[in-house]
Structure 1
């Protein structure tokens, strides 16, 4: 029965094209991230510079996410994605030109990262809101899990390809050219999906104002299970985010760009494994309790990574970190998609992306700052301890999330 359900999803041409677009874009973004991280650290040798890279990505996305969700609910979501993917290709091409000219200035690199953050503020809500229009409601949980597993497979391939290509060519320019090509593939896939029909008839929309702009925030605030899931991810990953410091750990472990790519891919290996398992066998019961337990394990794995002196142990800790985090991703994403009406999915998805962006990019900035103050090892260990503390507090504050049983109910 599980295999038949997965085969049914994979026979859905539009959903498969959506996955191709998603995979291509994530591979491109992850290759670019590895190249930028290594390039910036080679130019400066400073942890703070890596943190500022995360801040450059985060701020535009944070400031424009709510307008991005509003746009996704009022305009053609596929057209938005096409424009954003073309923008991603242009940004990668700009970085390739900078690498070719041998620039050592960080300001132009940060400027391009800020543009990428702006693009993500509009592409993220549109992409999240589009997917439920491509599958049947009964297939939504499996579609979320399969989409997450594809995303994680791209997270594995992207850093590995980026690190290998950087190591083979000795320049970031070749990586950026590959990112440009992958972004164009993502754009073509969205075009090939064709017209989609939203759930229900398109209703006359009220004029845009602050009330409609903030509707997603109000909806999340009143749905405590969704609020708890989103905010738990925010604080757990904000405190436990060690990804920004991986270039430093790769240098300390003497593994170079190739090893950095392996470290960047390791969380995705664990996450993709869990997502594939959930796609074939969705969570039956006690989804909320399982989520809390796995986020606590995320914090423990972060601590182990921070104290590790061996490349193999570091890889294993990051794999466990990614596997535990994927349970949170699936629970959060499924709750949002199932409990949110289609006409609000863009705005609620934007709120979700604000929290995700804060946890990832702002977490990278926080990691860079604390590493500059305390050293990278201590910064990561304290972050992992903080994550474990947050899990305990959130379990007490959000009984609605703790008591979530079946995701499809």
Structure 2
């Protein structure tokens, strides 16, 4: 096996542009989500309202996922991504106006709240297209032998942006307020829209271009369920994210439990970003191929422990450390899972496989927010977070025992085949 080049995929100009576009999009999206969480909780003072945000994004993202994957496999990817970004900018602009006191001065609090939920719902519909489009585009930018390396950089970029965005949101809420924070989101989305056109249009890889929708969707689902390594990774991550969605309740911890306000809220959101940054450095230099299944199980088990510690802590620095290590472990999990998907998925099915993944994993972030909001309402905030972390640990142990295929998964041979 040749010496590992951790920067192999970064030597392609279009891939660097792609990473920048993805970073900006994830950064803006996650920043926007946190700003809206803060605004909604400030209006309602009810943890259940945070759960509803997750529900309004989850429902359209889940129900449209398979159909979106079919469309992605049938369409040119660069232009489709540009269209999605353009529509995203309209959502950001709408939220900016809804948090502008001059614009909504004659609106009731409920009217503003319902309008925010409506835009979040439209965002969920749009998000069902983002995942499969981005996943498919990677394979058209770098050579096949670099899929694993590209997956590592792409996953790390997503992970870092997904925690840096909320951390920056906490900072801008504290310094600039909600309205100007959303103005920054809009500017970032427009910038990403302009950058995406620096990527050339790509060929459509699906050999069955006019395949009936029902047959196409069935083929995608069937492939996932027949490929045990993909099914195991998706299932494990789905359940752990579902029950580990405690971060959705961070506004409650910052305002009511730790009592650190918006400034402390920003610091807490920044903690996982540092962990994710370390993940990026480590996984770029040290491939995750050997014993990938056990590494995935260990990472998610560690994530569950971090969530429990965070839930029980009433001390700010302990909570911050717990979130730091949750970023490390969650980052490792993401890199391994994305590597499995890139290596095991044929080109013509990338959109549909990514859609199935987004149904069970991507959407589970929002469903996890709903679960956290509901359990917080029923059990109390701390109990809800500890319950979620405990369920994550039980899931990992059960999966490790019942799924020996995942437990014994080793990607070394796949890496060697890609390099030939």
The reply on whether 1:403 has 2:403 as its aligned counterpart is no
- The Cα of 1:205 is off from its aligned counterpart by 2.3
- The Cα of 1:33 is off from its aligned counterpart by 1.4
- The Cα of 1:283 is off from its aligned counterpart by 1.9
Report the more deviating stretch, 238-247 or 8-17: 8-17
Alignment of 1:81-230 (within 5 A): 81-100=81-100, 101-102=103-104, 103=107, 104-105=109-110, 106-170=113-177, 172-197=178-203, 203-230=207-234
CA contact (8 A) 1:295 1:325 kept: yes
The alignment partner of 2:290 has SS state of coil
Match of 1:343 among 342, 345, 348: 348
The reply on whether 1:241 has 2:222 as its aligned counterpart is no
Partner of residue 65, structure 1: 65
Supply the distance in 2 between the matched residues of 1:386 and 1:3 (Cα, whole angstroms). Answer: 40
Match of 1:373 among 374, 378, 384: 378
Report the more deviating stretch, 180-189 or 18-27: 180-189
The alignment partner of 2:8 has SS state of helix
Supply the distance in 2 between the matched residues of 1:32 and 1:246 (Cα, whole angstroms). Answer: 15
Supply the distance in 2 between the matched residues of 1:50 and 1:118 (Cα, whole angstroms). Answer: 19
The alignment partner of 2:115 has SS state of helix
Partner of residue 15, structure 1: 15
Partner of residue 282, structure 1: 287
Q: 1:250 to 1:19 in 2, by over 3 A?
A: same
Match of 1:334 among 339, 342, 350: 339
Supply the distance in 1 between the matched residues of 2:32 and 2:155 (Cα, whole angstroms). Answer: 20
CA contact (8 A) 1:157 1:265 kept: yes
Supply the distance in 1 between the matched residues of 2:65 and 2:412 (Cα, whole angstroms). Answer: 26
Match of 2:261 among 246, 256, 261: 256
TM-score normalised by length of structure 2: 0.93
Partner of residue 417, structure 2: none
Match of 1:363 among 355, 359, 368: 368
Unmatched segments (≥5 aa) in structure 2 = 415-420
Supply the distance in 1 between the matched residues of 2:44 and 2:270 (Cα, whole angstroms). Answer: 24
CA contact (8 A) 1:155 1:265 kept: no
CA contact (8 A) 2:299 2:329 kept: yes
Partner of residue 418, structure 2: none
Unmatched segments (≥5 aa) in structure 1 = none
Q: 1:300 to 1:139 in 2, by over 3 A?
A: same
The reply on whether 1:390 has 2:395 as its aligned counterpart is yes
Supply the distance in 1 between the matched residues of 2:173 and 2:390 (Cα, whole angstroms). Answer: 34
Q: 1:3 to 1:361 in 2, by over 3 A?
A: farther
CA contact (8 A) 1:142 1:278 kept: no
- The Cα of 1:284 is off from its aligned counterpart by 4.4
Runs of 4+ in 1 over 6 A off after TM superposition: 1-4
How well do the aligned residues superpose, as a CA RMSD in angstroms? 1.8
The alignment partner of 1:196 has SS state of coil
TM-score normalised by length of structure 1: 0.95
The reply on whether 1:314 has 2:339 as its aligned counterpart is no
Tell me the matched-pair count: 406
- The Cα of 1:236 is off from its aligned counterpart by 0.9
- The Cα of 1:85 is off from its aligned counterpart by 0.5
Match of 1:232 among 232, 236, 246: 236
The superposition leaves residues 225-271 of structure 1 with CA deviations (integer Å, 9 ceiling, x where unpaired) of 11010000011111121011000001121222232222223223212
Q: 1:66 to 1:235 in 2, by over 3 A?
A: same
